[in-house]
Structure 1
Amino acid sequence: MVAPLEYMGAAASVDVLKRGRALVQEGWELLASPLYGNFKPNQQPYRTLILRKNNGPTGLPDIQSLSLIEDAVRFYENSHHIMPPGGLADNIEKDFRYMDVVLLEETFRQYGLLTSPVKSYSEVVDR
């Protein structure tokens, strides 16, 4: 099962990662790298995580997911500047939202969260 959408609004990327870490510690599994797109914290204000419930046979957190999310949180916490959402002109914010979706589009499709390709820029950013 993939978690229902949990929209964190204008939360900083590091806060999204910390929420993801809490879910991983509760038995959720990351389905994509939390550092997808290879952006530095000062280069992308948005961070999307895709997780699914997976306690496995031991009921313990998924070790690979825990390692990935811990590394991501540490990377963001050690950054001197994190680009916050909402701090740029609206058209630039829309560009960043679009990149966030497009970078994860294949993962969304792979897990049945997106059944058709993203058709247009406005389909993503004007929602």
Structure 2
Amino acid sequence: MQDPIIITNNPQLKKRVKKIELEFVDDLFAVYSKSRDLIHQNWKLISHPLAGSVKPAQNPYRSIILAPAKKLDFYSLKTIERAIQKLKQFNQNHKKREYSQKIKEDYQIIDLTLIDSALKNKKLV
């Protein structure tokens, strides 16, 4: 059986996470859509795609942990579909922001902290 994987667009994870496979994608929407694609291939969510108090698309960085499943996990599918819907809704209702490098780094740290917590909680580190 395969090991868990993290789908991310956060460059900080490349430096920090060594024991779990990372798949780096270009942007926030790609994190969600790649995660959904894996769920359709019998993977399940280990971390919630809307973790933390920062709304989707407010933080341009997101990391999602998935693990292999024996069959299609409908809870994971429903959860990721709702997260994608929230992301689209947020993008329609708010104009795209440009962030300074410092703010981008702060958002990367927020995402890193959330994913570190999920990894420790699930005993993956």
Q: Deviations over 1:93-127 (max 9, x none)?
A: 1100000011222211234443xxxxxxxxxxxxx
CA contact (8 A) 1:29 1:54 kept: yes
Q: Secondary structure at the match of 1:5?
A: strand
- Decide whether aligned partners of structure 1 residues 91 and 77 sit closer, same or farther in structure 2, where only a CA change above 3 A counts: same
Q: Deviations over 1:34-69 (max 9, x none)?
A: 0001322342111110001112xxx3x101111100
Please give the alpha-carbon distance, in whole angstroms, between the structure 2 residues aligned to 1:105 and 1:111.
10
1:25 aligns with 2:27: no
1:75 aligns with 2:86: yes
Give unpaired runs (5+ residues) of structure 1. 115-127
Higher strand share: 2
State the identity as a percent.
28
- Decide whether aligned partners of structure 1 residues 49 and 42 sit closer, same or farther in structure 2, where only a CA change above 3 A counts: closer
Please give the alpha-carbon distance, in whole angstroms, between the structure 2 residues aligned to 1:106 and 1:83.
28
Please give the alpha-carbon distance, in whole angstroms, between the structure 2 residues aligned to 1:38 and 1:71.
16
Larger Rg: 1
Report 1:83-102 matches (<5 A).
87-102=98-113
Give unpaired runs (5+ residues) of structure 2. 6-20
- Decide whether aligned partners of structure 1 residues 29 and 18 sit closer, same or farther in structure 2, where only a CA change above 3 A counts: same
Aligned Cα RMSD in Å? 1.9
